[in-house]
Amino acid sequence: MSARDQTIDAFLSDLASSLPSPGGGGAAALCGALAAGLASMVGALSIGKKQCAAHEEELSELSARAAKARQELLALIDADAEAFAPLSRAYSLPKDAPDRAQILEQCLRQAASAPQKIAGACCGVIELAEDYAAIGSRLVLSDAATAAALARGALKGAVINVKVNTALMRDREYADALSAELEEKERAYSARADAVCDAVAASLGF
């Protein structure tokens, strides 16, 4: 069953079990989807408010982006599980299999691809939280900050799930470049998420 078709309880039961998936990547994708959903709520509760009247068009555009991000991250829960499955099988190959190293390398790249996409989508959610915090209703600014915080955690988790694969790759030039790219993205967007939370806290007086 697709992760998006499971109940929350069923998904969490699978996550807590000894099953190989869902794992960290899937959990990060779900966290990112929650952040996108919460960002959408900020828009839904801001559109039509007198104080936000000057930003109606922008809020509508943000809502469309947030809905797309939510769907993308939900799809990436299953994509992460599918990308990991070949790697799990590859580790069972005989140690002396002549093509084992090549297969493992290919599977490691594939396994890293889904959390790489999750990381990118989470950066987009942080951008949404920034924009919503700037123009959304004051009554739901705390939700914009929460969305930023959730997306920040999901981003970090996704990056870790990329690096657990790049650490085992033989092609160090490719692996190191990918890790460095994501580390820089994590630093930049984590700072942006923190700035959203700080700005909201200051605006609300705590």
Q: What is the pTM of this model?
A: 0.94
Residue ranges per structural domain of the chain: 20-204
Mention the CATH class of domain 20-204.
mainly alpha
Q: Which parts of 91-171 fold into alpha helices (H)?
A: 100-135, 141-166
CA distance 105 to 169: 6
pLDDT reported for residue 98: 86
For the cut 80, the answer to whether the pLDDT of residue 1 exceeds it is no
Residues 6+ apart with CB under 8 A from 122: 28, 32, 35, 73, 151, 152, 154, 155, 158, 189
**How does pLDDT run across 72-116, given as a tens digit for each residue?**
999 999 999 999 999 989 888 888 888 999 999 999 999 999 999
